[in-house]
Amino acid sequence: MRIVVTGGTGFIGHALVAEVAQQRHDVVVLCRTPRHSSHSSVRYVQWDARSMGPWRAEVEAADAVINLAGAPIAEGRWTPARKRLLLESRTCSTRLLVDALAERASPLPVFVSASGIGYYGASDDRVLDERSALGTGFLADLSAAWEAEALRAGQFQTRVVVLRTGMVLEQDGGALPKMVLPFRFFAGGPVLPGTQWVSWIHRADLIGLIQWAVATPTVSGPINAVAPEAVTMKNLCSAIGRVLHRPSWLPVPGFALHLALGELGTLMTTGQRVDPAKVRAGGFVFRYPKLEPALRAIFDAEGQT
């Protein structure tokens, strides 16, 4: 299979590309700065995520396109300019890909595009599945606009899968290393109020889920890319403490995060209790359905590197 990947040099994408290449698929990574690949089945092709170019030939020849492009959500305060970048880096690149799909001689079999559980907005204890309504707030609006661009590919007889991803756990990126740092200095604890829900997934399971979505023709539309066990912030931090053999005693006031991060601080002080209902019904098997074994696998691996 020939697979085109955008965002293939990021925290999720680089691990996905390595895994897919090991399975002897041909992988084309669309990126701003092409590089040499150490793997014979991986090629890097230039695109600017804003204009058509020679990369269209790669989309024309693809059996699947996996779209993970987008500026990182949590790398800066959500100023008006940052919000615009977050939105445009997702919607413009996705629109461009779908426009390229429209020009193919035959329909692309499957298009998998990223989104986020921010689609549901901040919620209480309600369990949210793929049928739950769109929420309110910046992340909900961003996710809805992003998904709308991706779902347009269905007009061209392409099966579209949209991944509403939760907090992705691994040691080399995402939120986990930032959360863990205070614990290493015996100053870890939950972000208050502590009762907010965290829907998470181990990166290995996310990569497996993306591959499953590509290979399973009955899967389409939005799917919740989270583990079956959502946890509260308090329980998440307690589990981190147990795995690292550190106390979880120093709570982080929500107002302090808001002072430091502005609106971005709401990522940690609010949450969603999300259920991967369609994924479970479709028969996907999680390697790490429970939080503590997932954390132990991550930190055991860290100790071996």
- pLDDT tens for the chain, 305 residues: list them: 999 999 999 999 999 999 999 998 999 999 998 888 878 899 999 999 999 999 999 999 999 999 999 999 988 899 999 999 999 999 999 999 999 999 999 999 999 999 999 999 999 999 999 999 999 999 999 999 999 999 999 999 999 999 999 999 999 999 999 899 999 999 999 999 999 999 999 999 999 999 999 999 999 999 999 999 999 999 999 999 999 999 999 999 887 788 778 888 888 899 999 999 999 999 999 999 999 999 999 998 665 43
The per-residue pLDDT for 303 is 54
Residue 31 corresponds to which tokens in the numbers above? 């990126």
Measure the CA–CA gap between 87 and 118, rounded to whole angstroms: 13
Gap between the Cα atoms of 227 and 299, Å rounded: 18
CA-closest candidate to residue 291, choices 157, 213, 198: 198
| Amino acid, res. 291 | L
Taking alpha carbons only, the member of 131, 59, 72 closest to residue 98 is 59
Domains and CATH numbers, the chain: 2-304 (3.40.50.720)
> What is the β-pairing status of strands 231-232 and 197-198?
antiparallel
Q: What whole-number distance in Å separates Cα of residue 58 and Cα of residue 45? A: 9
Tokens of residue 132, six digits: 């739950």
- The CA distances from residue 200 to 117, 217, 286, in Å, are 10, 25, 12
Using DSSP, state whether 28 is helix, strand or coil. Answer: strand
